[in-house]
Amino acid sequence: MGHKKNRIVLALGGNALQADPKDTRAESQLVTAKQTAKPIVDLIQEGHEVIIAHGNGPQVGQLIATYEGASQGNPNLPIMPFPECGAMSQGYIGYHLQQAIREELFKRQINKSIAALVTQVVVDEKDPGFQNPTKPVGSFFTEEEAVELMNEKGYTMKEDAGRGWRRVVASPEPVDVVEAPLVRTLVDAGHIVITVGGGGIPVVDRGHGRLEGVPAVIDKDFASGKIAEILDADYLIILTAVEKVAIHFNTPEQRDLDEITIEEALQYIEEGHFAPGSMLPKVKAALKFVQSKPGRKALITSLEKAKEGIQGKTGTVLKS
């Protein structure tokens, strides 16, 4: 009996782009992307339609820090706005992924095209995230420099664990994906698309066709869930560093979960089992996608285990 062919949105974690968090060189990222391409192409080879999403935390932070550092030495050099840095990171991460995946497809004689799409994601400017920015980005500054940036540029700056002051931006929820019709057309035609990179470039809709970029970071797992909803995907696969989601993580009572119902997921979230900066957004994004329509499934696992996860052999599955 043949496997069911699924439409899958694959959300790549940071470790899929940078094997060593301290090594942020572009050359190293390309090497890591070539390893990442193999399990992705495994899924394509099985006949699944694959849409790829990815984070951009370290990359966008590095771009911003580079501009900030350069402008400190040269006051006439303008700092690149945040949405533009997001677009730049989408471009170069997409370029690495499409090079790596294309090469892997060629090796296996799979004749498919792949492209990264610069993707804008609509957010609501009334989103409570804008009232309380929490996402640290860019360089560390002294208190004196931070005060100056707050006055001059209107930034929100916060003291970061005794290491200095950093800019913080909002993390609003995604409302819509502007280029979704294009993604759908390409996927329907059999192409592989890389989209909502870094959660998408956050924009607010000003009406009359005008979109305005805003300084914010959309969680890439939520953005992946949103594009999966719009494209009516069968699966949202959120890739992380571990094979399964666990409760009582890192304690003697740790228990890995094979399958979670919506009710159980809500209960575990309520009980505080998942760390806010890491597993919590993944479980919440998976939950949101599964709740959006009956029959949808979300899988949280590691990149290497994605193929086995779809076959039901490993990973943590959420279903309605």
Distance of CA 106 to the CA centre of its chain: 26
- Do 87 and 138 have their domain in common? no
| 1 located within any domain | no
Assess if residue 3 is contained within a domain: no
What's the average model confidence in pLDDT over 138-153? 87
Q: Are 272 and 43 in contact (CB under 8 A)?
A: no
15 is catalytic: yes
Mean pLDDT along residues 290-297 = 95
- 150 and 191 share one domain: no
**Whether 153 is catalytic:** no
Is 284 part of a structural domain of the chain? yes
What does the pLDDT average to over 313-318?
A: 96
* Among 61, 198, 208, 222, CA closest to 129: 222
Domain extent at residue 139: 134-169
143 and 277 inside one domain: no
pTM strictly above 0.95: no
Active site residue 135: yes
Q: 216-273 pLDDT, tens per residue?
A: 999 999 999 999 999 999 999 999 989 999 999 989 999 999 999 999 999 999 999 9
Name the active-site residue from 6, 14, 34, 213: 14
Residue type, 303: L
What separation in angstroms does the CA of 158 have from each of 67, 136, 145, 162? 19, 8, 12, 11
Active-site pick, 282, 284, 297, 305: 282
**Strand segments (E) across the chain:** 7-12, 49-54, 114-116, 120-122, 135-141, 156-159, 165-169, 176-177, 192-194, 201-205, 211-213, 235-240, 246-247, 255-256, 259-260, 297-302, 316-319
Q: In terms of domains, do 238 and 185 share one?
A: yes
245 lies in the same domain as 265: yes
Helix (H) or strand (E) run with residue 18 in it: none
Q: What is the pLDDT of residue 3?
A: 64
In a domain, 278, yes or no: yes
* 220 contacts 55 by C-beta, under 8 angstroms: yes
Kindly state whether residue 129 falls inside one of the protein's structural domains: no
What is the CATH classification number for the domain harbouring 242?
3.40.1160.10
**Which residues have CB under 8 Å from 290's CB, separation 6+?**
262, 296, 297, 298, 318, 319, 320
The reply to whether 92 and 231 lie within a common domain is: yes
State whether 50 and 138 are in the same domain: no
Q: Map residue 318 onto helix, strand or coil.
A: strand
Burial status of residue 176 (CB atoms within 10 A of its CB: 0-12, 13-18, 19 or more): middle
Domain count, the chain: 2
- Are the beta carbons of 225 and 291 closer than 8 angstroms? no
Domain check: are 180 and 240 in the same one?
yes
Q: Return the bridge partners of 300, or none.
A: 238, 316
Average pLDDT, the chain: 92
Question: In the chain, count of helices (H) and strands (E)?
Answer: 9, 17
The Cα–Cα gap between 58 and 138 comes to 9
116 and 91 within one domain: yes
* Domain co-membership, 21 together with 91: yes
What percentage of the chain exceeds 70 in pLDDT?
A: 99
Answer yes or no: is 184 within a domain: yes
56, 198, 200, 220: the active-site residue: 220
pLDDT one-digit tens code per residue, 27-42? 999 999 999 999 999 9
The single-letter code of the amino acid at 186 is L
Residue 74 counted as domain residue? yes
Task: Flag whether 258 is in a domain.
Answer: yes
**Is 188 found in the same domain as 162?**
no
Catalytic: 112?
no
Between 18 and 191, the higher pLDDT residue: 191
Of 135, 164, 213, 319, which is the active-site residue?
135
Q: Are residues 118 and 151 in the same domain?
A: no
Type and span of the H or E element at 224: helix 220-230
Residue 132 is a catalytic residue: no
| pLDDT tens-place string over residues 58-112 | 888 888 888 888 877 787 888 889 999 999 999 999 999 999 999 999 999 999 9
Neighbours of 88 (CB within 10 A): 17
Which of 112, 144, 169 marks a domain boundary? 169
Structure confidence at residue 275 (pLDDT): 87
Q: Given the residues 15, 34, 112, 319, select the one marked as catalytic.
A: 15
